Amino acid sequence: MTGDVPMAGHSGAGSRPAFWNQLGFGEFPVLLAPLAGVSDHPFRRVCARAGATLTYVEMLSATAIVFRSKRTFEMMRRHETETRLGVQLTGKSAAEVGEAVALIDDQPFDTVDLNMGCPVNKVTRAGCGSAILRDPERVYQTVKAARAATAKPLSAKIRLGWDKGSRNFLETAAAVESGGADFMTVHGRLRSDDYSAPVDLEAIATVCKAVRIPVFANGNIFSLEDGAHVRRVTGCAGIMVSRGALGNPWLFRDLSLGREVPVTLGEWRETVRDHLEWQQDEYGGHGNGAVCMRKHLLWYAKGWPGVKPLREKINTAESMSGMLALIDEFAGSLAALGCVERQSLVSGFAGDSSRFTWDPKYEMDRGLDRGVGDDGLVDLGSSPSAPQTTGFPRPAIPGSDAVSIL
């Protein structure tokens, strides 16, 4: 990546905080954001193999954790192949978040993140996600309570504010730092912004200069060019990739290497086949696991010619084996046409919003208004009738519609 930029508040490797090497961050970390309904083990494994420095389980409800929700604890299961893994949660009060962090502190996670940026209505109406941004004192108390509950590296993810009348990102960032967080991620939009709104990199740069802890930038990172641009403009310590990773785990490789490596047809086919295999190992060959895999295959189809018939077939596929046959058939047809490399995907910072010509996740996010898994979503609004026994059995199938991003 061009344009070497030092970490905000740190003059060199010798001054890096202790947790930096502990989390394997290196010179310029590239993190996979917690993506609700997406960040299960198979997807995390694909991204980690491609070069993601750190991955997270999807955002969880502190309420569900406090009430020992079985489904929520199942969602936290760590696969034996994962070398580093983080957990992200959001809650209705500082006390609840602190209690939840204490309850999961002995679970196999390397770091804890506090979500203060999710814009989904069902989440914010419960006083969670970006609703926390409206009260910087609550931000401070929430981080402080979590800090008291764990010695693990602690971070928070924020937005620039609730709406145009409350762009309080500097006050919020100061509260995160004062509460005891080790680092933070800033998404360069307001809660009221649509995803077509531009990402305010200058605001992120202002945060980087204002605090001493490392700041990660997030928003519209779809290409190597985007990562270099964000780093150059903001001076951030690292970046967090969200939608850009969907169907394109190779983005982590490009960002880590600092150069774009073409995705060959053979590599694409192998990665998709591996994802299918890991999905089947996790959830079985039929049922909700197969339905959930459809969205991934739709995303993987980006960048290849003649994908419309493939998409139509994917939308009705009912088994992993059937999907595998579709991928093999499609790859064979591309090879016969002499198509050996995927087209480069568009930049998130070049051109207007029409460049996102087909984004199934965006469509589902807006249509379903989802921000956490089914169990967590229920628990955000009301307490379960009775606590459930926790444990780590076979993980729950992520709902095919639980796909909102942060």
pLDDT tens digits for range 69-89: 999 998 888 999 999 999 999
200, 271: one domain: no
What is residue 344's predicted lDDT score, i.e. its pLDDT? Answer: 83
Residues 6+ apart with CB under 8 A from 304: 268, 330, 334, 339, 342, 343
Domain assignment present for residue 109? The answer is yes
Residue 192 class from Cβ within 10 Å (0-12 exposed, 13-18 middle, 19+ buried)?
middle
Domain total in the chain: 2
From first CA to last CA, the distance across the chain in angstroms is 26
> Which pLDDT band, with edges at 50, 70 and 90, does 361 fall under?
low
109, 129: one domain: yes
> Which pLDDT band, with edges at 50, 70 and 90, does 350 fall under?
low
- Residues 263, 266, 269, 273, Cα dihedral to 10°: -120
Residue 315 class from Cβ within 10 Å (0-12 exposed, 13-18 middle, 19+ buried)?
exposed
Q: Model pTM?
A: 0.85
Cα torsion 8, 169, 369, 302: sign: negative
103, 245: one domain: yes
- DSSP state, residue 270: H
pLDDT (tens digit, 9 = 90+) per residue, 324-336?
Answer: 999 999 999 999 9
Phi, psi of 304, rounded to the nearest 5 degrees: -115, 145
What is residue 392's predicted lDDT score, i.e. its pLDDT? Answer: 26
Domain assignment present for residue 359? The answer is no
147, 234: one domain: yes
* Mean pLDDT of the 112-137 span: 94
Choosing from 118, 128, 236, 292, which is the catalytic residue?
118
In this predicted structure, which of 142-151, 173-182, 388-397 has the lowest mean pLDDT? Answer: 388-397
With pLDDT > 90 as the criterion, what percentage of the chain qualifies? 73
233, 323: one domain: no
Distance, in Å, from the CA atom of 88 to the CA atom of 37, rounded to the nearest integer, reads 13
Looking at residue 245, its amino acid is A
> Which pLDDT band, with edges at 50, 70 and 90, does 5 fall under?
very low
- Residues 400, 32, 162, 10, Cα dihedral to 10°: 170
Q: Catalytic site residue 118?
A: yes
